[in-house]
């Protein structure tokens, strides 16, 4: 089969991603073999390709927003039919035995591994996934619409729940990229009032088109105090800004993996009256199940731009250079 491989991680100009030929993978006893139909392009794929993330598997195939169909299974797998549509996401495996896994916080498992980093992902004709971590996908959404939901969507959903937004509450979103625009759609469908605080004019227009009550500069105060806020922009300077926009008892969730340094906080000014700050780390399979069902129910959709998978390198370059809004999705032609 043909598969993209990160042969030598480094800047895209050096061609770190190569299209290679290799045998179709053989699933382990507890794994499915999946024929890839579409795979979303996540910024993490760019970090893996350019070497911003340490190499965990030399020559890895990136891609962790995979929509495909079951093409085979190991001997211990039960309950999947050939041809059934499944999703493969970032969280690939946990030990299932540590204290975090046992209390339903498998996103914190120290022994977790990840698709497209520890194991080959979806920029290929075929991939594998442990059956217990394959996602059953709702009908009513096509492959291209589903792919970006599998990372950007799920993370945005976990951040929304971590922000403890009360029913009908006032939510502020700082930054408005792929994850935030999916999160906003779900919050609006659930009855929230959404204020978007971001610097891009195009992003502000999109926010208003989707139904946000206001869209303004990230450093400005929203038109009303917020019950909850989510920081999607990786900018620590915005932490005190967002805390000051919270009403008494409000919660700020920080959605990103990376954040620049947070400036000193003033206890009385920024935190008193039981305002809270929370981080968000990866997601659980339960988050994914809940989100995919809600996304189908409410018609949550990413703005997508498709590329043939044979041009995955071009899609990564366009992502890096900010040539499109929304999410790139590779449609398999390998």
Residues of this chain that bind Zn ion (CB under 5 A):
42, 44, 94-95, 98, 101, 109, 151
Distance, in Å, from the CA atom of 108 to the CA atom of 45, rounded to the nearest integer, reads 21
Distance, in Å, from the CA atom of 181 to the CA atom of 198, rounded to the nearest integer, reads 12
Nearer to Zn ion, 57 or 244 (CB): 57
Nearer to Zn ion, 94 or 228 (CB): 94
Least distance from Zn ion to the Cβ atom of residue 186, Å: 18
Least distance from Zn ion to the Cβ atom of residue 35, Å: 21
Nearer to Zn ion, 67 or 151 (CB): 151
Least distance from Zn ion to the Cβ atom of residue 305, Å: 16
Nearer to Zn ion, 41 or 188 (CB): 41
Least distance from Zn ion to the Cβ atom of residue 247, Å: 32
Least distance from Zn ion to the Cβ atom of residue 24, Å: 25
Least distance from Zn ion to the Cβ atom of residue 152, Å: 7
Nearer to Zn ion, 109 or 146 (CB): 109
CA distance to 73, 82, 84, 134, per residue, from 79 (Å): 10, 10, 10, 11
Least distance from Zn ion to the Cβ atom of residue 101, Å: 3
Nearer to Zn ion, 66 or 238 (CB): 66
């Amino acid at each position: 089969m043909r598969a993209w491989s990160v042969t030598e991680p480094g800047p895209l100009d050096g061609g770190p991603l190569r299209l290679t030929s290799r045998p179709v993978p053989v699933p382990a006893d507890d794994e499915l073999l999946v024929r890839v139909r579409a795979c979303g392009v996540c910024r993490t794929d760019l970090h893996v390709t350019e070497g911003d993330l340490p190499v965990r598997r030399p020559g890895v195939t990136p891609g962790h927003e995979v929509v495909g169909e079951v093409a085979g299974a190991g001997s211990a797998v039960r309950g999947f039919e050939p041809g059934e549509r499944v999703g493969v996401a970032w969280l690939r495996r946990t030990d299932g035995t540590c204290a975090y896994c046992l209390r339903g916080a498998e996103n914190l498992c120290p022994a977790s591994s990840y698709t497209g980093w520890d194991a080959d992902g979806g920029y290929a004709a075929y991939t594998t996934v442990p059956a217990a971590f394959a996602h059953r996908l709702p009908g009513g959404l096509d492959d291209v619409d589903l792919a970006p939901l599998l990372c950007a969507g799920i993370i945005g959903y976990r951040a929304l729940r971590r922000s403890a937004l009360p029913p009908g509450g006032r939510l502020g979103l700082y930054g408005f990229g792929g994850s935030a625009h999916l999160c906003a759609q779900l919050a609006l469908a659930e009855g929230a009032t959404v204020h978007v605080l971001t610097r891009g004019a195009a992003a502000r227009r999109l926010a208003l088109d989707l139904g946000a009550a206001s869209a303004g500069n990230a450093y400005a105060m929203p038109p009303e105090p917020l019950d909850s806020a989510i920081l999607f922009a990786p900018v620590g300077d915005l932490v005190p800004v967002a805390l000051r926009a919270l009403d008494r008892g409000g919660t700020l969730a920080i959605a990103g993996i990376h954040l620049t340094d947070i400036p000193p906080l003033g206890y009385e000014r920024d935190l008193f009256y039981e305002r809270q700050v929370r981080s968000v780390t990866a997601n659980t399979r339960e988050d994914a199940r809940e989100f995919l069902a809600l996304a189908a129910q409410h018609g949550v959709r990413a703005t997508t731009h498709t590329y043939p998978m044979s041009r995955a390198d071009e899609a990564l370059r366009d992502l890096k250079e900010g040539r499109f809004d929304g999410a790139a999705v590779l449609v398999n032609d390998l």
